[in-house]
Amino acid sequence: MAKILIVDDEPDIRSLVGRYAKSFGYETAYASDGFEAVLKCRSEDFDCIIMDAMMPEMDGFTACKKIREAKDIPVIMLSARGEEYDKLFGFETGADDYVVKPFSPRELMARIGAVLKRRSRVYSERLKAGILEIDKSGRVVYIDNEKTELTAKEYDLLLYLAQNKGMVLSREQIMEAVWGCEYFSSDRTVDWQIKQLRSHIGKCRDYIVTVRGVGYKFEIN
């Protein structure tokens, strides 16, 4: 069940959006201004935020920017202003979509569904294991949210191991999957590449376990 944070200084708007969100199966939480929204996002996790642009204390644009600095949560901005400049400004601050008031609640629900669907596709392209994350579409590896530089072959090797988490893989299996069945070399090639990979993934080096006499497996202790 997706959890939606509804942020608006108008109680009627919060109530309206909340009723529809619940009817569509979403869990809801509420904030009356941008400052409260930022605080809630620091202590809770949300799948999507519906954010009014113009609010007291802290406006939606500022709140969106602050939230996106710390957490990657999709934001749909609500605003009574539909000028192109306002929409562009909303996108520049990190909003994923922009809906002009007055709006159709059903259309807003459809937009929430679309944003969540896009986001789910993005995360299906990411593989997480402990503090290690592999962005398969961008071929990028993060450790503790910090980008880690790997060679192309080290990346291929890490991805293959991680995708087969818990399985003992022989050197022959690794060689065929990473280098190709037509690549001829000795077991030393795999061992050397594993050694290089371990040195580059630092804190996660112990995720790659040596199985004596057989090969390797990816395992989080």
pLDDT at 22 over 90: yes
pLDDT at 185 over 60: no
* C-alpha triplet 119, 66, 112: angle, nearest 5°: 30
What CA–CA distances, in Å, run from 94 to 62, 99, 128, 166?
A: 10, 14, 24, 38
Q: Residue 139: its pLDDT value, please?
A: 85
Residues 6+ apart with CB under 8 A from 28: 3, 4, 5, 6, 18, 21, 22
* Percent of the chain residues topping a pLDDT of 70: 91
CA distance 157 to 121: 24
Q: Residue 21: its pLDDT value, please?
A: 96
Most distant CA pair in the chain, distance? 70
Mean pLDDT of 115-120: 81
Query: pLDDT of 129-164, one tens digit each?
Result: 899 999 887 788 999 888 998 888 899 899 999 999
pLDDT at 183 over 60: no
Boundaries of every domain in the chain: 3-124, 127-218
CATH class of 3-124: alpha beta
Name the DSSP class of 203: G
pLDDT at 48 over 90: yes
- At 154, give phi and psi (nearest 5°): -65, -40
Q: Residue 186: its pLDDT value, please?
A: 57
Q: What is the mean pLDDT of the chain?
A: 87
Q: From 1.10.10.10, 2.115.10.20, 2.40.170.20, 1.10.3720.10, which CATH number describes the 127-218 domain?
A: 1.10.10.10
Q: Which residue has the higher pLDDT, 83 or 51?
A: 51
